[in-house]
Amino acid sequence: MSDNQAPVHMWTDGACKGNPGPGGWGVHIEWGAHIKDLWGGDEQTTNNQMELLAVVKGLRALTRPCTVVVHVDSRYVMNGIQDWIHNWKRNGWRTAGRKPVKNAELWQELDAEIARHDVSWQWVKGHAGDPGNERADELANRGVTELNR
């Protein structure tokens, strides 16, 4: 399979030192022989926000529509994107209890990014030896560390 037919594999992770507190996000992208790492952080955030932002930043970094396999270790992201988002959109970004969806802006950004690509989702257990996930975790922690420089 040539590079232009191979799917992009993307591992994403978020980290937070305190919840809320300083946090970081990391993305490890592999496409054929190409590798790209992204990371960043925020002084005051939550772990869930960093998990979502990692996916948004990773998908946004793709310069053209792609077939993407997103590997995440966050049940929040997996449940949200596979189960909850459809009802949230139908309910005007409100929960079944009619309360505003937490992190709605990030969910809306994620929804816009996945519309550009053919995305499939793969849950991976965190800290269990998956090389891509371990790298994304390192990058997310780097995002937090670099806040203090």
Catalytic residue among 13, 30, 42, 113: 13
Catalytic residue among 30, 109, 113, 137: 137
Residue 30 CA to residue 11 CA, distance in Å, equals 9
Catalytic residue among 73, 80, 109, 143: 73
Indicate if 13 belongs to the active site: yes
Task: Name the E strands within 4-144.
Answer: 8-16, 21-31, 34-45, 67-72, 118-123
Indicate if 41 belongs to the active site: no
Catalytic residue among 3, 83, 127, 129: 127
Indicate if 111 belongs to the active site: no
Indicate if 118 belongs to the active site: no
Catalytic residue among 42, 51, 109, 113: 51
Indicate if 143 belongs to the active site: no
Indicate if 9 belongs to the active site: no
Sheet of 8-16, strands arranged across: 34-45, 21-31, 8-16, 67-72, 118-123
- Residue where the block lists tokens 């496409």: 31
CA distances, 126 to each of 14, 42, 77, 135 (Å): 11, 22, 13, 11
**Catalytic residue positions?**
13-14, 51, 73, 127, 137
